[in-house]
Amino acid sequence: MNDCLFCKIIKGDIPSTKIYENEYVYAFLDIEPQAPFHAIIVPKTHISSADEINAQNSIYIAKIFEAVAEIAKAESLSDGYRVVNNCGKDGGQTVGHIHFHLLARRNLAWPPG
């Protein structure tokens, strides 16, 4: 049994607001946005965290960053944006399916704290 929240979202078993999809990648709006634009981009295969990226699955990560560029153009994020991956406990990862936050439309503090 795959009990993964984002696998269920990809399959459509849990509803989401889709903003982008292709063979490798699914992207949807975050349910608790931390910026006026806050999307979550996930690979359509279960990779649990950045720790699990390897030579066999890294094509999915490349496809995620291709999707970032396409979404940024489609959403006119010409003032910039931030891509964030939280990994593990200290990284603040709460969902065990690797995902990248795409945050935009406000000035984002650095360092993030």
Enumerate residues 6+ apart whose C-beta is below 8 A from 34: 101, 103
**Can you tell me which of 44, 46, 82, 105 binds Zn ion, judged by CB under 5 A?**
46
Enumerate residues 6+ apart whose C-beta is below 8 A from 65: 83
**Can you tell me which of 43, 67, 71, 97 binds Zn ion, judged by CB under 5 A?**
97
23 phi/psi in degrees, rounded to 5: -60, -30
The closest of 68, 75, 14 to 42, measured between CA atoms, is 68
- Could you give the angle at the alpha carbon of 58 between the alpha carbons of 60 and 43, nearest 5°? 25
Positions 54 through 113 that interact with ligand 5GP (CB under 6 A):
86, 92-95
Of residues 31 and 59, the one with the C-beta less far from ligand 5GP: 31
Closest approach of ligand 5GP to the CB of residue 8, in Å: 9
Decide: is 83 part of the binding site for Zn ion (CB under 5 A). no
Positions in the binding site for Zn ion (CB under 5 A): 4, 6-7, 46, 97
Point out the residues that are catalytic.
99
Positions in the binding site for ligand 5GP (CB under 6 A): 5, 14, 16, 28-32, 40, 86, 92-95
